[in-house]
Amino acid sequence: MKLQAALDTLTLDECIKLLEQTQGSIDVVEVGTPFVIEQGMVPVRTFKEKFPNIEVLADAKIMDAGKYEADKCFDAGADIVTVLGVSNDATIKGVVESAKEHGRKVMVDMIEVKNLAERTKEVDQMGVDYICVHTAFDVQATGKDPLDDLKVVNSVIKNAKSAVAGGVKLATIDAIVEEGAGIIVVGGAICNAEDPSAMAKEIKKHLK
Amino acid sequence: MKLQAALDTLTLDECIKLLEQTQGSIDVVEVGTPFVIEQGMVPVRTFKEKFPNIEVLADAKIMDAGKYEADKCFDAGADIVTVLGVSNDATIKGVVESAKEHGRKVMVDMIEVKNLAERTKEVDQMGVDYICVHTAFDVQATGKDPLDDLKVVNSVIKNAKSAVAGGVKLATIDAIVEEGAGIIVVGGAICNAEDPSAMAKEIKKHLK
């Protein structure tokens, strides 16, 4: 069970400081989508160079040109790249093809997938590594929680591991750990904590 | 009727040369998603600085954190930002809110939207500027063409203008122009032409 820290709102220097202070707690460092939009692959290259033992996930949320866009991320050093579950099968397969060529991994982000069980079964046949249930940031205010979706995915996957993202915090981590997932993604609860490093270490203690 | 050139596969220097050679032909320069993934907002800033009279579209394909991510694009100088039609309504509304604050525009990319007429009607009520039918690059090999989708969108929109993307080329431009759209997006047909500048000028001649 890995802890993935989604870094969306910190500066590059703040991220580096966090990773230095939490060695051993953060298994996967996520270059969040806003970070990619602002700086492209610069943070991916920086993290991989400074922290070769931490996996780097590029949250590119690929929606088209799967092979071409994934190649860019893997060539920059990403260990894991995200593709959207709502994208065309051909796009997901292109990302998988790129990952296999590079010896890296694919996470499918199931954000806004309507037919979750059915789509999970389809995606699970495509050679992806992680299927991530994800409550959108923009809908977290409604109180929606990714735990129910995680249960759906866990009940149907046969090949990939599950992952979970979207508002996960100290108050909800134990129920998620109990349900089980290959990767647990925590963003705001770490980035917006008074002491992000202490929070990352505390959350890591709850993982199995 | 505007010509938007989607620049995905050229270097930044090649893009600048193309824009210098085609002054008056390209109305909107699109910083394509692979370009954003690689370089973030650098191309947006560069184009806006060098070509203040050409509109710059950031093809961020926003899927979540609508306001936050759109703010980044508009702050960098983008005139138009894309958000995915498959995203949550709250995300599209966040992008619209950001656009209104900045006095800029929103294009909804309808790629992989299943219920096109129904979703177009919904999105058309949200204050967006363009609704873009889009045949994914990854499915163009199947022979699918965006013209039929354009007809669907044109038949139901009341507020936004339509746009069209996905494999548009010299051989198909006249039928699209005949159907009508606010923006016609041309990518590979320009970027991969032997003489990209000549091709952009030729295609522009076909627009009304």
pLDDT tens for A10-61 read 999 999 999 999 989 999 999 999 999 999 999 999 999 999 999 999 999 9
Question: Sorting pLDDT into bands at 50, 70 and 90, what band is A141?
Answer: confident
Rg (C-alpha) for chain B, rounded Å, is 16
Query: Among A94, A96, A91, A68, which Cα is nearest to A80's?
Result: A96
CA-based nearest distance A1→chain B, Å: 26
Nearest residue in chain B measured CA to CA from A37: B40
Placement of tokens 């309507």 in the chain? A114
Neighbours of B118 (CB within 10 A): 11
* Enclosing H/E stretch for B155: helix B147-156
Determine the Cα–Cα distance for residues A129 and A142; give it in Å rounded to an integer. Answer: 30
pLDDT tens for A161-192 read 999 999 999 999 999 999 999 999 999 999 99
Nearest residue in chain A measured CA to CA from B74: A38
Spell out which residues of chain B touch residue A165, defining contact as CB-CB under 8 Å: none
Q: What residues contact B141, with CB distance under 8 A and at least 6 apart?
A: none
Determine the Cα–Cα distance for residues A193 and A181; give it in Å rounded to an integer. Answer: 24
Determine the Cα–Cα distance for residues A125 and A161; give it in Å rounded to an integer. Answer: 12
Spell out which residues of chain A touch residue B90, defining contact as CB-CB under 8 Å: 136, 138-139
Residues A67 and A97 sit within 8 Å (Cβ to Cβ): yes
* Enclosing H/E stretch for B175: helix B170-179
pLDDT tens for B69-89 read 999 999 999 999 999 999 999
Question: Sorting pLDDT into bands at 50, 70 and 90, what band is A145?
Answer: confident
Nearest CB to A60 within list B37, B88, B136: B37
Residues A153 and A162 sit within 8 Å (Cβ to Cβ): yes
Strands (DSSP E) contained in chain A are 2-7, 28-31, 55-62, 80-84, 105-109, 130-134, 161-165, 183-186
Residues forming beta bridges with residue B185, ordered by sequence position: B4
Helix (H, G, I), strand (E, B) or coil at A65: coil
CA A176 from centre of chain: 15
Nearest residue in chain B measured CA to CA from A93: B138
Is ipTM over 0.90?
yes
Which residues, numbered 126 to 185 in chain B, qualify as contacts with chain A under a Cβ-Cβ cut-off of 8 Å? Answer: 136-139
Mean pLDDT value across chain B: 96
Query: Among A112, A22, A151, which Cα is nearest to B86's?
Result: A112
Determine the Cα–Cα distance for residues A18 and A22; give it in Å rounded to an integer. Answer: 6
Give the pLDDT score at A193. Answer: 94
Determine the Cα–Cα distance for residues B185 and B191; give it in Å rounded to an integer. Answer: 12
CA A207 from centre of chain: 16
What are the phi and psi torsion angles at B191 (to 5°)? -60, -40
Residues forming beta bridges with residue A107, ordered by sequence position: A82, A130
Q: Which of A37, A73, A133 to mutate to test the interface with B (most CBs of B within 10 A)?
A: A37
Q: What angle, rounded to 10 degrees, do the helices at A170-179 and A147-156 form?
A: 20
Helix (H, G, I), strand (E, B) or coil at B62: strand
Q: What angle, rounded to 10 degrees, do the helices at B147-156 and B116-124 form?
A: 50
Domains along chain A with CATH numbers: 2-206 (3.20.20.70)
- Residue B143 pLDDT > 90: no
A86 in B contact zone (CB under 8 Å): yes
